[in-house]
Every structure is written in structure tokens, then in C-alpha cells.
Amino acid sequence: MITLTDAATTKVAQLIEAEGEESLALRVAVRPGGCSGFAYEMFFDTDVAADDLTQEFGDVRVVVDQSSAQLLHGATLDYKDGLDESGFAITNPNAQRTCGCGQSFS
């Protein structure tokens, strides 16, 4: 299962609040594709399957499907808002290789 840093948790909570739908959860998934073999997906979701894994980080609920959870085990989602780096980034110890954009891995 993926872990959220405090900065990521704060930013996701702000985005959910802006949506005005408190039942939203952040779904993090890994899908085949991208230039390195797998690509990350993140989106707000209200549907949670019975076999999804969920974890709470403050007021933020994160949902991950079973197959993605294996590839995200030990991964961390961070958020940065600076001149050099801005936006969400996933650090994944399971990734043997990543592409230049940071959105896909193998």
C-alpha cells in the first residue's frame, strides 16, 4: 500500500474540499502502459470494491486495488510546490527503471 506524506495529505484534502464532495477517496492505481511498462493513475473516486485496500491519512481516504497494491508496496506519494519541483510525485522502491517524465516505471 502507498503512503502519503503530510504535504501530499494536505494537498489532497484541499482538492477534495474544493470538489465539495466529502465522500471522495483518492484512488491510486498502476496500469500497463507508459514508456517503461507501467503507468501511475490517480483520481478521485466514490466507488470502493469489496476487495480494494483502503487506508486513512488524516481526513484523506486512499483506495488501491489488489493488483496495484502489490506494485505500490512501500511507495510514497509526496507533493511539492517549489520553483524546482511542483506537483505530486511517487517514490516507488519496486521500480527498477523509470522514464524521464516520472510517470511510468518497470
Domain at 53, CATH number: 2.60.300.12
Of the candidates 83, 78, 65, the residue with the CA atom closest to the CA atom of residue 28: 65
Predicted confidence at residue 37, as pLDDT, reads 74
Q: What is the pLDDT of residues 50-102, one digit of tens each?
A: 999 999 999 999 999 999 999 999 999 999 998 888 899 999 888 765 554 44
Q: What is the pLDDT of residues 8-29, one digit of tens each?
A: 999 999 999 999 998 999 999 9
**Other Cβ atoms closer than 10 A to 86:** 10
At residue 51, φ and ψ (nearest 5 deg) are -100, 5
For 33-98, list the strands marked E by DSSP: 38-45, 53-57, 60-64, 76-81, 86-91
Is beta strand 38-45 parallel, antiparallel or unpaired with respect to 104-105? antiparallel
Of the candidates 55, 71, 66, 47, the residue with the CA atom closest to the CA atom of residue 12: 55
* Total domains in the fold of the chain: 1
Query: 90: domain range?
Result: 3-105
Q: What is the pLDDT of residues 25-36, one digit of tens each?
A: 999 999 887 565
